[in-house]
Amino acid sequence: MKTKTKTFDAVRESRRWKESVVQRTAGMSRAEVLEFFNGARPVAPQRHEPLEESSVLREDAPKT
């Protein structure tokens, strides 16, 4: 029986990520670290104007 070798090791990548974060945040205060992580999070842009009527899907009310 032949076994496949893994091409991606999630545990190793997680450890590498943690080590890089520790190096980048070394010497930062707690508030700075929290701001670092909040700033690193991708945030979807907020829409401030309503969508066009043509782009809203609606179902007609059932006829009785």
Most confident of 3-12, 15-24, 53-62: 15-24
pTM value is 0.46
- For 18, the token pair is 């943690």
Q: DSSP character for 7?
A: S
Which has the higher per-residue pLDDT, 22 or 43?
22
Write out pLDDT tens, residues 24-59.
999 999 988 888 888 866 666 666 676 666 555 666
- The Cα–Cα gap between 54 and 60 comes to 14
